[in-house]
C-alpha cells in the first residue's frame, strides 16, 4: 500500500482538505497520512470533522503524531507529562479513525539532557514504555521514527534507536530520507531494526539535509532499497501534489508500482 502524507497539503479549511483528498484519490493512493500539526491538529474535539470528510472517500488512514513542542525525553516533568498526554490523545483519535499505524518522534536533546545524559536516557526510556502501554490500550501500532541529521535530534543512527527501544516492543517507522542524511547505513538499520519496522516514509534528498524531494531527485539508491521493504505501508512525504505525481511516475519507472 502507498499513501500520501499531509506534508503535501497546505490548506486550512475543510473545503481545501476535501479538494486535496480528491486529488490524492485521483492519483491512486491507498491512504493518507494525517499529520497532527498546526493548523490541522487531530484532537478529541476535531477528529470527527476529519472523519466525516474522509468518509466520502475510499481511502485508508495513517497518523503522524504531533512533534513540534513535544518532547517525551524532557527532564522537565511537566513538559514530559504534557507531551505524553498529547500522544495518548493522538492514539485515542487514531483508534477512532481506524488508523493503520501512528508515527511518533523520539525525544530530543536539550542543554540539560546533554549534561545529565543518564537521567535523560532514564526518563526517555520510561516515556517509551508508557507509549507502548498506550499502543496496547487503544489497539493501534506505533512506529518510532529515526531522525535526520540535526544538532538536537536523537535516534539518528540505528544503534541509538535500537538502544532507546530495547525495553519495549514498539515498532519503527523507517524514514529512508532521514537515513540518507546520516550516511545511509541501510544494511545496519535492517540488521538492528528490520523486525520492528511497521511503516516506511519515502522522500529523497542530496544527503546533506532533510529536503523532502520527489523520489529520484536525490541520491538515495531506490532500486536497491525498495525490494527489501515491499511488505510495509509506504507514505510519500513530499511537499506538494505535483511532487507526489513525479514520485509515483518514478516508482512506476523502476517497477515498484
pLDDT digit string, tens, across residues 36-52: 999 999 999 999 999 99
Would you call 201 helix, strand, or coil by DSSP? strand
CB 239 within 8 A of CB 211: no
Q: What is the mean pLDDT of residues 166-175?
A: 98
State the first-to-last Cα distance of the chain, in angstroms, to the nearest integer. Answer: 10
Q: What is the mean pLDDT of residues 92-114?
A: 96
Tell how far CA 168 is from the center of its chain: 18
Specify the pLDDT at position 76: 97
Q: Helices 158-165 and 186-193 meet at what angle, rounded to 10?
A: 10
pTM of the model: 0.97
Q: What is the mean pLDDT of residues 204-224?
A: 98
pLDDT digit string, tens, across residues 70-93: 999 999 999 999 999 999 999 999
Question: What band does 139 get if pLDDT is binned at 50, 70 and 90?
Answer: very high
Q: What is the mean pLDDT of the chain?
A: 97
124, 35, 158, 243: CA torsion to nearest 10: -160
CB 157 within 8 A of CB 187: no
Question: What band does 69 get if pLDDT is binned at 50, 70 and 90?
Answer: very high
Specify the pLDDT at position 172: 98
Structural Rg of the chain based on CA atoms:
18
Q: What is the mean pLDDT of residues 209-225?
A: 98
Q: What is the mean pLDDT of residues 57-81?
A: 98
Question: What band does 111 get if pLDDT is binned at 50, 70 and 90?
Answer: very high
% pLDDT > 90, the chain:
99
> How many degrees, rounded to 5, is the angle at CA 68 between CA 208 and CA 203?
35
Specify the pLDDT at position 65: 98
CB 42 within 8 A of CB 69: no
Specify the pLDDT at position 204: 98
Q: What is the mean pLDDT of residues 172-182?
A: 98
Specify the pLDDT at position 155: 98
Amino acid at each position: 500500500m502507498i499513501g500520501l502524507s499531509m506534508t503535501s497539503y497546505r490548506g486550512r479549511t475543510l473545503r481545501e482538505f476535501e479538494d486535496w483528498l480528491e486529488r490524492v484519490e485521483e492519483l491512486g493512493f491507498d491512504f493518507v497520512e494525517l499529520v497532527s500539526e498546526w493548523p490541522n491538529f487531530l484532537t478529541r474535539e476535531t477528529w470527527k470533522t476529519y472523519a466525516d470528510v474522509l468518509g466520502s472517500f475510499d481511502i485508508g488512514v495513517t497518523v503522524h503524531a504531533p512533534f513540534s513542542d513535544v518532547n517525551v525525553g524532557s527532564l522537565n516533568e511537566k513538559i514530559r507529562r504534557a507531551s505524553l498526554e498529547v500522544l495518548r490523545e493522538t492514539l485515542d483519535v487514531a483508534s477512532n479513525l481506524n488508523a493503520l499505524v501512528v508515527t511518533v518522534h523520539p525525544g530530543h536533546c536539550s542543554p540539560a539532557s546533554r549534561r545529565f545524559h543518564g537521567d535523560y536516557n532514564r526518563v526517555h526510556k520510561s516515556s517509551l514504555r508508557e507509549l507502548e502501554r498506550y499502543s496496547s490500550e487503544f489497539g493501534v501500532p506505533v512506529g518510532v521514527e529515526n531522525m535526520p541529521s540535526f544538532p538536537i535530534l536523537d535516534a539518528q543512527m540505528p544503534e541509538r534507536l535500537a538502544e532507546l527501544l530495547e525495553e519495549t516492543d514498539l515498532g519503527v517507522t523507517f524514514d529512508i530520507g532521514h537515513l540518507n542524511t546520516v550516511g545511509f547505513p541501510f544494511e545496519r538499520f535492517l540488521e538492528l531494526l528490520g523486525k520492528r519496522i511497521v511503516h516506511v516514509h519515502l522522500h529523497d534528498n542530496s544527503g546533506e539535509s532533510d529536503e523532502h524531494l520527489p523520489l529520484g531527485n536525490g541520491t538515495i539508491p531506490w532500486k536497491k532499497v525498495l525490494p527489501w521493504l515491499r511488505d510495509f505501508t509506504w507514505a510519500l512525504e513530499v511537499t506538494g501534489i505535483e511532487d507526489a505525481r513525479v514520485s509515483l511516475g518514478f516508482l512506476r519507472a523502476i517497477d515498484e508500482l
